[in-house]
């Protein structure tokens, strides 16, 4: 299994390095010795931890939906015309763009700085590995 630096684990989970260190200190996420005996996270352990986070959502989060990919983020851009709206948000390291009716964007009160949840369902998903 790969050993990931704390910063890499944080990037993958969409949280800060400090949050990952706090989880380590709380005993929620085990660490191993990495390069130069620095703290590292085993890739398998990180995958299991990420799954546990997904399985126990925060308060106020929908707990039953057919879409499995739900990402909380902040709205970074809203472009509306009379019919449609393009809403961009940042969820951790991910930029998400949604097209919806202008009416829906208005009803949701979406504006730059709003915290929202992107619920993504697709019949086609491409998985890539970095070199």
pLDDT digits (tens, 9 = 90+) for 74-91: 899 999 999 999 999 988
Mean pLDDT value of segment 62-72: 67
pTM tops 0.85: no
Residues 6+ apart with CB under 8 A from 92: 11, 13, 14, 15, 71, 73
The pLDDT score that the predictor gives to residue 62 is 56
The CATH number of the structural domain formed by 3-55 is 1.10.1660.10
Which option is the CATH number for 69-120: 2.40.50.100, 3.40.50.300, 1.10.150.20, 3.30.1490.190? 2.40.50.100
The answer, yes or no, to whether residue 58 has pLDDT greater than 60, is: no
The pLDDT score that the predictor gives to residue 101 is 94
CA nearest neighbour of 60 among 121, 117, 120, 119: 117
The answer, yes or no, to whether residue 61 has pLDDT greater than 90, is: no
The answer, yes or no, to whether residue 68 has pLDDT greater than 70, is: no
Q: Residue ranges of the domains in the chain?
A: 3-55, 69-120
Mean pLDDT (the chain) is: 83
Mean pLDDT value of segment 8-13: 85
Q: What is the DSSP code (8-state) at residue 114?
A: -
Using CA atoms, how far apart are residues 127 and 125, in angstroms rounded to an integer? Answer: 7
Cα 6 to chain centroid, rounded: 16
Residues 74 and 115: beta-carbon distance below 8 Å: yes
Using CA atoms, how far apart are residues 128 and 125, in angstroms rounded to an integer? Answer: 10
Helix (H) or strand (E) holding 41: strand 39-42
């Amino acid at each position: 299994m790969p050993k990931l630096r704390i910063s890499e684990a944080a990037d993958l989970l969409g949280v800060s390095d400090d949050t990952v260190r706090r989880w380590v200190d709380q005993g929620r996420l085990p660490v191993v010795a990495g390069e130069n005996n620095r703290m590292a996270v085993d890739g398998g352990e990180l995958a299991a931890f990420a799954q546990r986070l997904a399985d126990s959502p925060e308060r106020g989060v929908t707990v039953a939906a057919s879409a499995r990919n739900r990402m909380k983020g902040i709205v970074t851009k809203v472009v509306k015309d009379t019919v449609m709206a393009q809403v961009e948000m940042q969820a951790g390291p991910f930029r998400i763009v949604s097209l919806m009716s202008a009416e829906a964007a208005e009803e949701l009160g979406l504006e730059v700085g709003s915290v929202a949840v992107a619920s993504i369902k697709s019949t086609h998903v491409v998985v890539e590995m970095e070199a």
